[in-house]
Structure 1
Amino acid sequence: MSTASPGHPVAPVPERLFDDDREQRWRARFTAVRMSRPAWALDAPDRSVYSSNASGTTQVHTWDRATDLHRQVTDRPAGTHFATLPPDGGEVWWFADTDGDEFGHWVAEPFAGLPAGAAPANPLPGVEDGYPAGLDIGRALVAVGTSTDDGTTIWLHRRGAAGPATRVYHHAEDAGVGGLSEDETLLAISHSEHGDSRHPALRVMTVDGDLVAEKSDGPGKGLSPIAFAPVRGDQRLLVGHERRGREELLIWDVATDIETELDLGLPGEIDADFYPDASALLIWHTHAARTRLHRYDLTTGELTELATAPGCIGSADVRPDGTVEYSSSSAAMPSAVRALHPDGTDRRLLTPPGEPAPESVPVEDLWVDGPGGKVHALIARPAGEGPFPAVFALHGGPHAADEDRFSAGRAAWVDAGFAVVEVNYRGSTGYGSVWRDAIEGRPGLTELEDVAAVHDAVVAAGLVDPARTVVEGWSWGGYLALLAAGTQPGRWAGAIGGVPVADYLAAYADEMEQLRAFDRALFGGSPEEVPERYRLASPLTYVGDVRAPVLVLAGENDPRCPIRQIDNYLDALRERADLPYEVARFDAGHGSLVVAETLRHVATEIDFARRALERITVART
């Protein structure tokens, strides 16, 4: 639900974007029912949990495969996203925050549902509320992490016990639960006691809190626990490392302290998980904005690409019978949940009710010489010949990447006649550690150098009209859009920042501690220690140089990009009597899980961009 914005012009929400069949099409891509890949209980694999927007808001659902019964578990106004099942499948655990602010605690209710009038139970007595920092539910024990302004605490609790959970770890710096060993005698955690949460160290302790082993690869090289082998008595831990300048894998036998690095010979970056019998790994291989699946035999070393459906893999896991269930999509084709069976047959696992989402156009790859090396971009273009009006849609993170996946938002911009340019700037994942870490000490301005290089290239190629180009993004992308408006004013006809960092000093003061730790690692210190770096990275610093209209969309309860620092930026815009700007505030956190609200956001953005370009047209004439 949108909220008022005292003292600032509120962005209008158009009733329609189109006067033809495009109106139904763009809305249908958002309202079509979507389902995440169902995750199942380890010892009761017929019991599954997934999220879906079937009610109009993303909520938690269960699926009993034996009876094919689906049940909506949550019905909270701001939506619910995080849920899991314990091994026995007897309960559904979901994270309860307040209005999307991400601060709360885990609750549990029976898989079959609660009696009328009953409320979910607190399965973790004594655990303080906080931001989630990992959860692993074993057969006997639960390991859970919470993050507050005081740092990260990790707790262990015996399932069903009446007494409070036991605190086994606490530190002022960021940390998280990695996982319990299958016999529940060991606990792996990631931590940043060395002060760099972007490159964590790895610790294994007993469930009594005693140190077993510690691993660190030193400055600039992270180690992340992925999972213990799912076989009782097997103390091998699958670990992510970056010793060769990209995300790869090793297996650490904690019992013998023997490491085995896995050099799979694949370009790009690697993630994985164990098959149920620990004989093989399911490999996610990401390269050039596409992710595919492989099977790696731990005995023979044989690597086999799995014959999944065309598209970019989202999530995947292996059933007890060896079936690989996965989600996939492409820019042109909406997401589907599928099952690849051991006999090689591949078919849809679930078909959501109602009409499927309409398809869109594919993306094209573009590689551009930038100041830090080749920059990879994806381009979706409307029908006809360029140069087109364009939107540079900048991804969040910053440690994330745009991929060849379906996006209803991208498709709406294309329907509106815009070429969509997505840039995997320095800071993006999937292109190696050096590329990801190149923004350290100079975030924001570094990424925008790559955006400028791509902008120059598409203009020179005749694809994009330089006078009709808008910069847009959410979260870190929204931050970059506002920073671009002030530091590259000659490039943009409009700037749209969704849930952005707008005033970095105020954002640091108000944001969740996990992000303060991230910022300290990214900038090389706190604002008190390196104030000039924060000043140079803050959009507020350049508000006097902005020349194009600005739209800001902001969540009232956002713990990541809090509302006060956005108000500071808007107040500074208000002092610019010569500059049009608008704001759309909504009653949620870092984005919205409500379909109707998302529709309003997209309609507001495209309408704002059209009006910004109309100003250019009028000025030309």
Structure 2
Amino acid sequence: MGERWQDRFRAGRISLPSWAREAPDRSLYRSNSSGTWELYTWDRTTGEHRQATARGQGTELGALDPTGAWVWWFDDTDGDEFGVWRRRPFAGGPDTEAAPGLPPSYSAGLALGADGTALVGRSTDEGFSVHLCRPGQPPAELYVHRQEGYLASRSDDGTLFAIAHSEHGDSRHTAVRVYRLHGAEADSPPRAEAVGDLWDGPGLALYPGHFSPGGRTLLVVHERRGRAEPLLWDPVTGEEQEVRLDGLPGDLSADWTPDGKQLLIVQEHRARSRLHLHTPDGGRTEPLDTPPGLVGAATARPDGTVEYSWSSSQLPPVIRNTRGETVLTPPGATAPPSVPVRDVDVEGPGGAVHALVSEPEAGTAPYPTVFLVHGGPEAQDTDAFFSDVAAWVDHGFAVVRVNYRGSTGYGSAWRNAIERRVGLTELEDITAVRDWAVASGLADPARLVLEGASWGGYLTLLGLGVRPDDWSLGIAAVPIADYPAAYADEMEALRAFDRSMFGGSPEEVPERYAASSPLTYAADVKAPVLVLAGENDPRCPIRQIENYVGRLRELGKPHEVYRFDAGHGSFVVEERIRHMAAELDFALRSLAGVPGGPVPGTA
């Protein structure tokens, strides 16, 4: 295969361009074309593209103001996600601090006004807050609470803003509140007046979206019937209109078309997605023609088209519109294709578990097999293009991806099933699929790799200790390894998430954290372990990984560590290639002596 797998990482990629509400020909997107993921502006009138940020570790968060005059971007330190907002002119120019007077924080939302004002959501160890920033004036605090939340959106006229909050103590199942903003333009101190509250009670989440164009109706996603569905809510009158789309299975989300007359519906079902246009007045729903695979993002344009990013497990990402046109093509070579996936359903202890299987083009079963475990846990594996999956396949491995309990896309009960028994529940589903893969003849039981990043890395380390005889080796990137220590060091938003899952903090329910912590089972680990860790990771901090690695060292367990200077992963293309190379090298070396195992260098 030579460098084919590396070519996929180096191939040009772009995100779906966003656009300014009052200047729709001005767009912003992310691209890796400089070798690092950065923000770029695109003037659709002139065709000019301009790199807006250039930082050693890349840039993730950015936004255009409604007039298209300014690019806002979040400036953290080496990927630690803790920083301040800066801005620069769309046409280029110096960066300036966008919200002077606001200390660094974790980002918890941004809502920009056409009048130059901004609402900034902040998360710190003290909780969640929202601040009004006006040019030439100090920031004004509008909302603060010890419990976590996020700023969702602001109405076009700037008078209303919506937040998700967890004042009831459960950040996984948020409520929604809308405030009226007073004094945004006056010299008097501004204030926020609550005008509407929406909460569906314990265990039911509400996710606020955008206000209607030019209006005050708020899009909200609810879970009243066991899945994600949209509703329209007028926070002033309290009127609700549920968008009933019973003919569309799966989880549904929505956004407005620019004229406010239709909703762009994104349907997620069995690891794939479809787009639909729904007209609330009259209840008509029209499917949009997209190929099978994953729509990663979509936006309706003022000209009536819908632009979307799309890929499949076999074909690399493209940006298209509903006229069948390619909207934007990144510079450089296109990523080589990979193999399609097939779906399997395996009966697990909590019901049927859906998994995706990718098989190498050469060789015969049983294959050496990688169980690539997704992060989150509130995420899912999809029929989308992933360079790491393709790299394993190129090297002769089958890849199995499991949408275990805790995953999104299969209803709220499936997502919530991990509560109070975190990690152990997910492993039951992974084990069921692992046993199917061996019994069906797909996977060689002597050559089984458990691999994952973030929550997937956590489940990898936990699985190596809880089910030590199931796996030949493990690879855990940016994992939770010592759960109580991770809780102590991680960002407050994640501590709140953990309290919701476990039913309390490590001090309140220590037995649950111990039962779910990989460190508890370190002595039982038999397989060689590779751990990849970010020095500046605020989500899975380095100290708790050092605790786990130190324990493996004390026990004489075979292990290797790859540390890198970034946060929760890297936005630098060559660093991601080094990560993948380290994983492949570790797996090939570890399996080289196994009868029938891969021989290093032959892939």
With the length of structure 1 as denominator, give the TM-score of the two structures: 0.93
Q: Report the CA distance between 1:324 and its aligned residue.
A: 0.7
Judge conservation of contact 2:213–2:258 (CA < 8 Å) in 1: yes
**Residue type at the aligned position of 1:130:** S
**Residue type at the aligned position of 1:247:** A
Equivalent position of 2:269 in the other structure = 287
Equivalent position of 1:254 in the other structure = 235
Instruction: Tell me whether 606-615 or 458-467 shows the greater mean CA deviation.
Output: 606-615
Deviations, residues 537-590 of structure 1 (Å, cap 9, x unaligned): 00000000000000000000000000000000010010122x210000000000
Q: Report the CA distance between 1:308 and its aligned residue.
A: 2.6
Superposed, which structure 2 residues align to 1:377-456 within 5 Å? 377-383=355-361, 384-456=363-435
Distance 1:122 1:352 in 2: 30
Judge conservation of contact 1:188–1:203 (CA < 8 Å) in 2: yes
- From 329, 333, 358, give the equivalent of 1:351: 329
Distance 1:45 1:461 in 2: 53
SS of 2:3's partner is: helix
SS of 1:482's partner is: helix
Q: Does residue 1:472 correspond to 2:451, yes or no?
A: yes
Q: Report the CA distance between 1:616 and its aligned residue.
A: 3.5
Distance 2:2 2:423 in 1: 35
Distance 1:394 1:175 in 2: 28
Deviations, residues 477-518 of structure 1 (Å, cap 9, x unaligned): 000000000000011000110000000010000000000000
Q: Does residue 1:568 correspond to 2:568, yes or no?
A: no
**Residue type at the aligned position of 1:290:** R
- From 301, 304, 319, give the equivalent of 2:286: 304
Equivalent position of 2:526 in the other structure = 547
Please list every run of at least 4 consecutive aligned residues from structure 1 whose deviation after the TM superposition is greater than 6 angstroms: none
Deviations, residues 200-237 of structure 1 (Å, cap 9, x unaligned): 01111111211111111110001111111012xx2211
Judge conservation of contact 1:227–1:238 (CA < 8 Å) in 2: yes
Distance 1:522 1:580 in 2: 32
Equivalent position of 2:132 in the other structure = 156
**Residue type at the aligned position of 2:120:** V
Q: Report the CA distance between 1:312 and its aligned residue.
A: 1.5
Q: Does residue 1:170 correspond to 2:144, yes or no?
A: yes
Judge conservation of contact 1:179–1:187 (CA < 8 Å) in 2: yes
Judge conservation of contact 2:195–2:236 (CA < 8 Å) in 1: no
Distance 1:112 1:236 in 2: 33
Q: Report the CA distance between 1:350 and its aligned residue.
A: 1.1
Q: Report the CA distance between 1:618 and its aligned residue.
A: 10
Q: Quote the sequence identity (%).
A: 57
**Residue type at the aligned position of 2:263:** L
Distance 1:585 1:371 in 2: 37
Q: Does residue 1:596 correspond to 2:574, yes or no?
A: yes
Equivalent position of 1:517 in the other structure = 496
Equivalent position of 2:471 in the other structure = 492
Deviations, residues 132-165 of structure 1 (Å, cap 9, x unaligned): 001111212311101011111111223xx20112
Q: Report the CA distance between 1:46 and its aligned residue.
A: 1.2
Equivalent position of 1:8 in the other structure = none
Judge conservation of contact 1:128–1:146 (CA < 8 Å) in 2: no
- From 94, 112, 116, give the equivalent of 1:137: 112
Instruction: Tell me whether 361-370 or 376-385 shows the greater mean CA deviation.
Output: 376-385
Judge conservation of contact 1:485–1:495 (CA < 8 Å) in 2: yes
Q: Does residue 1:278 correspond to 2:260, yes or no?
A: yes
- From 31, 34, 39, give the equivalent of 1:55: 34
Distance 1:80 1:615 in 2: 42
Distance 1:306 1:528 in 2: 51
- From 86, 99, 105, give the equivalent of 1:107: 86
Distance 1:59 1:414 in 2: 29
Judge conservation of contact 2:197–2:235 (CA < 8 Å) in 1: no
Equivalent position of 2:193 in the other structure = 210
Q: Does residue 1:184 correspond to 2:158, yes or no?
A: yes
**Residue type at the aligned position of 1:281:** L
Equivalent position of 1:127 in the other structure = 102
Greater RCO (CA < 8 Å, at least 6 residues apart): 1
SS of 2:97's partner is: coil
Q: Evaluate the alpha carbon distance shift between residue 67 and residue 536 of structure 1 in structure 2; reply closer, same or farther with a 3 A threshold.
A: same
Matched residue count: 585
Equivalent position of 1:338 in the other structure = 320
Equivalent position of 1:612 in the other structure = 590
Deviations, residues 268-308 of structure 1 (Å, cap 9, x unaligned): 00001001111000000000000110000111111111013
Distance 2:497 2:340 in 1: 35
Judge conservation of contact 2:105–2:123 (CA < 8 Å) in 1: yes
Q: Report the CA distance between 1:615 and its aligned residue.
A: 4.2
**Residue type at the aligned position of 1:145:** G
Judge conservation of contact 1:394–1:472 (CA < 8 Å) in 2: yes
With the length of structure 2 as denominator, give the TM-score of the two structures: 0.96
**Residue type at the aligned position of 1:126:** G
**Residue type at the aligned position of 1:49:** L
Judge conservation of contact 2:368–2:396 (CA < 8 Å) in 1: yes
- From 206, 220, 224, give the equivalent of 1:239: 220
Judge conservation of contact 2:196–2:236 (CA < 8 Å) in 1: no
Q: Does residue 1:224 correspond to 2:187, yes or no?
A: no
Equivalent position of 1:83 in the other structure = 62
**Residue type at the aligned position of 2:210:** A
Distance 2:6 2:586 in 1: 18
- From 324, 344, 350, give the equivalent of 2:306: 324
Q: Report the CA distance between 1:23 and its aligned residue.
A: 2.2
Unaligned runs of 5+ in 1: 1-21
Judge conservation of contact 1:308–1:346 (CA < 8 Å) in 2: no
**Residue type at the aligned position of 1:125:** P
SS of 2:128's partner is: strand
Deviations, residues 178-204 of structure 1 (Å, cap 9, x unaligned): 111222111111000111000001111
**Residue type at the aligned position of 2:21:** L
